[in-house]
Structure 1
């Protein structure tokens, strides 16, 4: 091995952070600097200096958790790693080089820099999968980042403010109509939490009642939340419909032109809020490499989490097609979820160290134990170890599971404290939309024009 071994981790999400965390622990102990065996330099290239715990985004949007407690600062968790905030643009694995654009190179205008490495860990995650729907790029709102979650919360409350103050019935109706496209975890949990929050907030508006709010969920397949099973998916539909949510299965969005959500069943909804959560796709950096990919654009990997036919390249999580050894003969891959990602990261780090020490590699094998989903405060569904739960027990299991999974004791304690306080006091329903335009007040004072209301 070289001295020191250069390990490049692309991505600072679940897999990237946990792989780097395990590597810094193992290499610090097993490959200490200053010995004849050499040391290790671990570099993590990530667009953000923090890892986002995405299962908590719906609760952050609803105000149950502070945004800063949904993210984990990488420099605090990975003190022995080098953190580069930037993007990997291309990878030439034959030459062991990666082209990287950092904040500094963008500011200096010097163009991307080239980094060399000995071992490559690809964990860039996924990006929203959009379709060529007219108007979607102009009016759609995503739900994959903490910024999007908080922006959506502010937006929903602002729409209620607009509806409360306007005299135009058409503007009021559009402001109080909220359309969510996608019936997976992100769409259903976001809708459930925000509907709960908006219904609670309506009590503080003299001219808005819960019945005035119109919530619509559009799903192209014949059910929602497929991860929790068919029966629990049907229960979730009944629960949401009982709260007045208009759920349209086997339906697609065809247009959002002029702020009108048009569906293929002929329905049209004037709306100022369209949230797009209709699936994800692999990060574009995978296509900017010569590494082998499957038909869905993910890296082809072995059960040892090595990229097929590419020595010294490793991958896991959303970016990797890892064979599921618990389903022999079926040819299935591991589901791209957090349950697998965290466990894959540990095996991946162990295999990198084993490879450096020329020891046998371990297979990744983990049987999926089930799924949990929140439908709002005190409401949820779960399918765990073959048992079905709904309502309060499922919601409690959802919180307990994700509290146990969120990284660091610091974050666990803060989230638990916030949950405890939220049970003792009333919800916070203030909108901080001005955070998106922090210079507006100064620009106005300096004689400029502030950004208009959305």
Structure 2
């Protein structure tokens, strides 16, 4: 008899939280555990703006899965591009572009999210994203390169366009990105005596009427005031009408010459969810309070890709796609997978938000822990304390704390690492949203591989490998 096969898709807060709990609570001979992820690390996403601004090194927020696991989990380096729920097969594209069919008995879907884009002319070809470690490191190189090129240029128009920066998205990611990068340029320009600091302009725009509305009116206004005091121009009720390589057009008609457009206007569930041909809520997989998929045995979904009922707030709404919920959902799903294995009753997910923290760089921050409104040094202490405690390994905690201390004492050297090549890398180069199969392609592939296996072995089982879909 073979052991039950548990397949976890995704190594974000939800997926890693689930895997770690399964490793701790499953008996060694009780099940085989496999994790599908392109990278062998968990990215601590909330600190990504501090990587882009050089406060933290990329390695410090990339928590090694092999260091933090108990080595029981088999890791497949790749991404799931389709799932056949009926045949219980997950189609995986490895990092070498091989297509692998992985069978499972239980599957935990935590593929996360991708950047939400709209049908705006030129957007995906001219905007930078801020969702991955590579994007954060690339943006830092790009911003410093704009200072270098502006300093070397004799053309005042080119210099002006290189020193204007536009960030779209007034949520936590966009606000922290604009704040941290503005601090980077204001400190770096001191090393460029030929550049007039007044030429550096940061624009933060959002179609919503307020920045970070979850903070409430008072803290939201406080955050805006901090940014405006530092020279960030905030435009609300505005978005992008057109994006070009050297200028962007706002929906209010303004034309801003710029070589830097950073797009952080929200996220949507991973395109993997659309391959399941299952019910969704605004693109997220519709699951029940135990995070299993109704009508499909052994299928669980959580995190950004799942519409998990928020029982604390009545159950009509769904849990927001935050790290707080994802981490705790991972533990609950792990317990429910084990319960399903052992024939025990399952748990429902309940969690009340602990609060919100926003680090704006330097001494600026706003926080709302347990409903208490803070700003300034007190807010930054809470924000960094929360992030530091949430890091999974002592090595990661040591690296982050050391980086913070070193940056506070010694500052930054503002050097480029060489990430930027002659060809710019934009949204379309970092997120492979067109790499997924359609539900029909998934079914056709699984049926074809099943027929081949039946010819080769005399039965309908087995795992196939081969090229991509036609």
TM-score, reference length from structure 2: 0.88
CA RMSD across the alignment: 1.5
Aligned to 1:396, which of 381, 402, 415? 381
**Cα distance between partner residues in 2 of 1:224 and 1:233:** 6
1:162-182 per-position Cα deviation (integer Å, ceiling 9, x unaligned): 111101111001000000000
Q: Match of 1:287, SS?
A: helix
Question: 2:253 — aligned with what?
Answer: 266
Matched, 1:129 2:121: no
Cα deviation code 1:61-97 (max 9, x no counterpart): 1111111111012222231100011121211111111
Separation (CA, whole Å) in 2 of partners of 1:287 and 1:200: 45
| Counterpart for residue 18 of structure 2 | 19
Does the Cα contact within 8 Å between 1:203 and 1:209 map onto a contact in 2? no
String of CA shifts for 1:420-450, please: whole Å, max 9, x gaps: 2222222231111x2345xxxxxxxxxxxxx
Do structure 1's residue 370 and structure 2's residue 369 form an aligned pair?
no
Instruction: Verify: 1:59 aligned to 2:50, yes or no.
Output: yes
How many Å apart are 1:230 and its aligned residue?
Answer: 2.3
On the 8 A contact 2:245/2:259 being kept in 1, the answer is no
Deviation at 1:362, TM superposition (A): 1.1
Q: Deviations over 1:298-318 (max 9, x none)?
A: 011111111222221011110
Identify which of 287, 291, 301 aligns with 1:305.
291
Contact 1:292 1:308 in 2 (8 A): no
- Supply the distance in 2 between the matched residues of 1:423 and 1:252 (Cα, whole angstroms): 35
Structure 1, residues 5-62: CA drift from partner, whole Å, max 9, x if none?
Answer: 10011111111111111101111xxx332xxxxx211111112221110111111111
CA distance in 2, matches of 1:138, 1:103: 23
| CA–CA separation in structure 2 for the residues paired with 1:258 and 1:156 | 15
Deviations 1:304-340 (A, max 9, x none): 11122222101111011111111126x1111110011
Are residue 431 (structure 1) and residue 416 (structure 2) matched? yes
Partner of 1:316: 302
User: Hey, what's the Cα distance between the residues in 2 that align with 1:15 and 1:91?
Assistant: 19
SS at match of 1:227: helix
Matched, 1:32 2:32: no
- Structure 2 residue matching 1:127: 3-state secondary structure: strand
TM-score by length of 1: 0.91
CA-to-partner distance for each residue in 1:218-273, whole Å, 9 max, x for gaps? 10000111232222111111111111111100011100135211111111101000
- 1:240 match: secondary structure: helix
Contact 2:113 2:304 in 1 (8 A): yes
Matched, 1:43 2:37: no
Distance (whole Å) between structure 1 residues aligned to residue 169 and residue 288 of structure 2? 31
Q: Is the 8 A contact 2:68 2:392 kept in 1?
A: no
Alpha-carbon shift at residue 400 of structure 1 (Å): 0.4
Q: Which has the higher contact order (CA 8 A, sep 6+)?
A: 2
In structure 1, runs of 5+ residues without a counterpart are 34-38, 438-450
Alignment map for 1:385-424 (pairs within 5 Å): 385-424=370-409
Matches within 5 A, 1:336-351: 336-351=321-336
SS state at 2:381 partner? helix
Q: Distance in 2 between matches of 1:407 and 1:324?
A: 25
Whole-Å separation in 1 of the counterparts to 2:341 and 2:225: 54
Give distance in 2, aligned partners of 1:313 and 1:292: 13
Residues 112-151 of structure 1: pairs in structure 2 closer than 5 A: 112-151=99-138
Contact preservation (8 Å) 2:123, 2:243: yes
Is 2:199 aligned against 1:207?
A: no
Residue segments in structure 2 that go unaligned for 5+ positions in a row: 426-470
1:3 CA displacement: 3.0
In structure 2, distance between residues paired with 1:88 and 1:9: 10
Give the ranges of 4+ consecutive aligned residues of structure 1 lying more than 4 Å apart after TM superposition: none
